[in-house]
Amino acid sequence: MYEIIAILEDDPGRIQAMEKRLKESFPDYSSIFFNNAPDIIAWLKGHLHECLLLSLDHDLGPSWERSGQLFDPGIGRDVVDYLITQLPQCPIILHTSNSDAEIGMEMSLKGANWHYERVIPNHSLDAMDSWDWIDSNWADTLKRLIQSRGKNSSNSLNERLKDKCHQADPHTKPSSRMIIVLDDTPEAQNLISDRLGEVFPGWSCGVFKNSLELMAWVSRNTPQFNRLNRAKTIVILENNKKRIERMRHHLEQMFPNECLLFFDNAPELLSWLKVHFKKCFLISLNYDLGPSWTRQDKGFDPGDGREVVDYLATQTPLCPLIFHTSNKEAEIGMEMGLIETHWIFERVTASPDLKWIEKTWLPLVSLLLKPIDHTQLSESDIPSTHARWELFNHFALTFNGYESWESVEECIKIGDRCTKDYKKKQILPQSFQELRTALLMARNHWRRHNMEPDDEGMSYIQAIAQRLRDKVRAQHQE
């Protein structure tokens, strides 16, 4: 049974204040303190499964003498590096004032699906009220996490299995967020009920006692697996935790059948793209990814969004791009990196309040990923002759020309021909497909150069819109 609160902290004053708070507020649980990383790691190797919660500091002071030898106490990151090799089993509090190091600990834990929260200590350890954060923020966070853990663990084993993980049966269907376990031991059942549901909320789980069960289930669901294998991926480069949570929440509702991938640094995204580029459904890039952090005892540079753009500029356009950043100068630089390409991109200006996600980013994602079929077009979808350029710009994006022609080159060829025909003879194509291709290619020309159309260009765009409107009206009359 897990009932131990393990704490990594080297400051005697903090330890005393934490011990007092634990005895007063959490008398039913045992606690153990460590002032160095090697000792807590050695202890965790035999007792991690007993932990109710971990609380980790990062800076543990200089080396000292122990048993006649110089002893290096290590840092909190050493403990994190051990934990990410293990299955997540309890929540973690990061109580450190070293913000740069804390970010590195966060990123590692997030990548391994551990649940963590941060508590920021007072900056001055010599202040009279330097332990107030222990009695307030730290104790409150501890209480909330323990209560949450208790609620999740209060049901019987069968109830927890039912609530958290769907047992494998003829009705269990594969999903893009699924864990498959092949094990016939009771320990595996306990592990699934107590841990996986907490670490991966919302994921389905199939538990199989033997390989025959698993093979039969896979055989029954082969069509579903094939569909998942064909699923496209929405890829997002973003390092802000709150942005990621909000984006993920909305995207899972809007596109339940698509895969979502978030990267907090450019090198890892680039590595993924070099293998899985053809699976991309949409790519949304931030530019600023924060300062370097420590990873495996080495400095790690997260790079920036421009590095991803430089790679994409060497590839044939496959999906739309969104630049979501508050760094306008950098965003213009990313756009300029694609000026000689045929990538379809649009920008969203990010702001600290996160309202931009619902107000501008999500509508743009929906616009790009939910095109309007020719048969579904209405006159209200098409901007009026005297509409603002912004409306023509967005309407053009409701047609996926590259996919429609199954070739970027063919789409560009059609667009160029339509432009030349109109300039020389004032002739426009007759089909919906060619008209919308002409509009998309005209839009791309002006958007890549970050300019609004001149009079000649706008006249061409307005003529296409009017022809589309006439065709829609005729189509409805029929």
**Are residue 454 and residue 475 in the same domain, yes or no?**
yes
Contact 112/79 with Cβ under 8 angstroms?
no
**Are residue 14 and residue 148 in the same domain, yes or no?**
yes
**Are residue 183 and residue 130 in the same domain, yes or no?**
no
DSSP secondary structure string, 108-158? HHHHTT--EEE-PPPS-TTSTTTTHHIIIIIHHHHHHHHHHHHHHHSS-HH
**Are residue 194 and residue 53 in the same domain, yes or no?**
no
Q: What angle do CA 291, 296, 300 make, to 5 degrees?
A: 25
Classify residue 384 by its DSSP letter.
P
Quick check: is 282 in a domain? Answer: no
**Cα separation, 150 vs 144, whole angstroms:** 10
Classify residue 300 by its DSSP letter.
E
| Full domain range(s) for residue 31 | 4-153
User: Could you give the 3-state DSSP secondary structure of residue 55?
Assistant: strand
**Are residue 134 and residue 19 in the same domain, yes or no?**
yes
Quick check: is 434 in a domain? Answer: yes
Helix axes 266-276, 305-312, angle to 10 degrees: 20
**Are residue 178 and residue 197 in the same domain, yes or no?**
yes
**Are residue 191 and residue 143 in the same domain, yes or no?**
no
**Cα separation, 463 vs 401, whole angstroms:** 19
pLDDT score of 192: 65
**Are residue 218 and residue 145 in the same domain, yes or no?**
no
Quick check: is 164 in a domain? Answer: yes
Task: Point out the domain boundary residue: 226, 246, 276.
Answer: 226
pLDDT score of 343: 95
> How many domains are contained in the chain?
3
**Are residue 84 and residue 182 in the same domain, yes or no?**
no
**Cα separation, 30 vs 289, whole angstroms:** 40
Give the helix/strand (H/E) hosting 321. Answer: strand 321-325
Location of structure tokens 């789409």: 411
**Are residue 64 and residue 184 in the same domain, yes or no?**
no
Contacts of 22 (CB under 8 A, 6+ apart): 5, 29, 31
Task: Point out the domain boundary residue: 99, 131, 153.
Answer: 153
Note the helical H segments in 165-286.
186-191, 197-199, 211-220, 222-230, 241-254, 266-276
**Are residue 147 and residue 41 in the same domain, yes or no?**
yes
pLDDT (tens place) for every residue of the chain, 478 residues total: 458 999 999 999 999 999 999 999 988 899 999 999 999 999 998 888 889 999 999 999 999 998 889 999 999 999 999 998 887 889 999 999 888 888 888 888 887 788 899 998 875 445 445 678 898 889 999 998 888 765 554 343 344 334 444 444 444 566 656 777 787 777 666 666 556 655 555 566 777 777 777 777 777 766 665 555 556 889 999 999 889 989 998 998 888 878 889 999 999 999 999 988 988 999 999 999 999 988 777 889 999 999 999 999 999 998 999 999 999 999 999 999 999 999 999 999 999 888 999 999 999 999 999 899 998 899 889 998 889 999 999 999 999 999 899 899 999 999 999 999 999 999 999 999 999 999 999 999 999 888 899 999 999 999 999 999 999 998 877 6
